[in-house]
Structure formats: structure tokens, C-alpha cells
Amino acid sequence: MISHNIYLDHNATTKLDGNVLEAMIPFFTEHYENPGSSHLAGLTVDEYIEEAFRQVADLIGCRTNEIIFTSGATESINLAIRGISHGERNHLVTLCTEHKAVLDTVKDHAEKSHLNCSILPVQNDGLADLDLLEQAITGKTLLVSVMLVNNETGTIQYIKEISELVHAKGAFLLCDATQAVGKIPVNVQELGIDLMAFSAHKFYGPKGIGALYVSKDVKSI
């Protein structure tokens, strides 16, 4: 008889690492002051927050001012899709295998903001059909959303090649990297990603915290 559970759902969430818990506890008991305060205690907490920005920026290869902390990847995805400027571009593109957070937001935002959206099929191996994707992206395309690693199949998309197609048409690339950050090397500069969402609880961090990377070239977020 098995005396303990064998947990096989780490793509859904992970256990908080003991080192992370140890690092967090002082901010509930000792360094609890408002970081916006001008007194020494508040300024000290603010310095810790700035260090957190630096650590996250170093993790994904960006500047600290390109990081927005959120409650998690779902909020980051919503902020990216709903917050990016439309201008004359009125077309969103994504894949049918994207997470529900992307698909639902794309459909809802397209309907409410009178945008067009294209949800493309993938190949049998789960990878995007690059020829089909290139055909779908037009001069009216504002945003293309493709996840880096699929949460159900583990498929790793060719994000760098996809970003080249997206940028050639003057559009932006949103990447849901929730299943990638903290598990495989991710560098937004090398991959050509414009916006990227991820969550701490997918790689032994606390629930309720995530981030959105926004390239300095992206406006209206």
C-alpha cells in the first residue's frame, strides 16, 4: 500500500520551495512597512523590491523598467492583449492550442473592441505551421500570441522564427511563457519577444504573483 501521494501535476502548480518561504517571512513580520513611505524603514523595503525587479529582469534578459508585477500570468495576458494600442491595426492572431487565458481574452477583446481575430490550427506535432502563420499576419495585424511551451503537450514552439515573421509585418509578439520561465533558459532579447507573461507558482514560487514583460518598443500598456 502506498503511504504517500505521488504528485504528477507540476505544470499546474508547484510546491513553494523552502528557501523561497524563508526569504518571504521577514516581509510579513519585520519588513512590513509601506515601500512608498519616505522614512528609512519604507525606503529599505523599497530597496528590496528594486532588487526583486533586478532578479526577474536578469532571469529573462531585460531591463528592470520593462517588468510589471501582476497577480499571475492570467492577469499579465489580459493586460497585454487589452492594453496594447490599436491605432490602425485591428487584427489579432493566435493558435488553437493556446491556454484558455489567451483564447478567451482574444475572443472577448476582439468582440468588445470590434477587432478581427484569427485562431490558427497547428500541425500534428503541435508546432505552428509557419507558412500558414505568415499568410495570416497582414499589415493590419496588431498582435500575435504564441506560447513558448504548451502546458498539456510540452511542445516547444520556434519562437525566434515566429518573432521574425511577426516583426516583418510590423506586428508585436506576445508569448505566454508560463511553462518555460524557471524551467528552461528564456531570454526575451534573443527570442525577439515583445510581451511575455509568466507566474511564480509554476516554478516553486508563491501563488498570487506573476509578471508581464513589456518591451520598451511597445506602447500603451
Identify the burial level of 211 via C-beta atoms within 10 angstroms of its C-beta, where 0-12 means exposed, 13-18 middle and 19 or more buried: buried
Per-residue pLDDT tens digits for 170-214 = 999 999 999 999 999 999 999 999 999 999 999 999 999 999 999
> Between β-strands 210-214 and 67-70, what pairing exists: parallel, antiparallel or unpaired?
antiparallel
List of domains in the chain = 66-214 (3.40.640.10)
Query: Are the beta carbons of 145 and 138 closer than 8 angstroms?
Result: no
Question: Could you write out the three-class secondary structure of 161-204?
Answer: HHHHHHHHCCCEEEEECCCCCCCCCCCHHHHCCCEEEEEHHHHC
Contact 151, 178 (CB under 8 A): yes
| pLDDT > 90? residue 219 | no
Q: In angstroms, what CA-CA distances link 148 with 17, 171, 173, 188, 205?
A: 24, 18, 11, 11, 20
> What's the chain's average pLDDT?
96
Adjacent-strand bridge partners of 169: none
The 10s digit of each residue's pLDDT in 116-172 is 999 999 999 999 999 999 999 999 999 999 999 999 999 999 999 999 999 999 999
Model pLDDT, residue 220: 59
Q: C-alpha grid cell for residue 118?
A: 484569427
In this structure, what C-alpha cell is assigned to residue 211? 509578471
Starting at the edge strand that comes first in sequence, how are the strands of the sheet with 195-199 ordered? 67-70, 210-214, 195-199, 172-176, 141-145, 91-95, 116-120
Burial class of residue 134, CB neighbours in 10 A (0-12, 13-18, 19+): middle
d(CA 130, CA 142): 18
Model confidence pLDDT, tens digit, residues 63-88: 999 999 999 999 999 999 999 987 89
* pLDDT band with cut points at 50, 70 and 90 for residue 217: confident
pLDDT confidence band for 27 (50 / 70 / 90) = very high
Neighbours of 108 (CB within 10 A): 13
Q: Round to whole Å and give the CA distance between 134 and 136.
A: 5
pLDDT higher than 60, residue 221: no
- Amino acid 5: pLDDT: 85
Q: Which residues, 6+ apart, have CB-to-CB distance to 163 below 8 Å?
A: 173, 191, 192, 193, 194
Whether the per-residue pLDDT at 1 is higher than 70: the answer is no
Q: State in Å, rounded, how far the first CA of the chain is from the last one.
A: 54
How large a percentage of the chain has pLDDT more than 90? 94
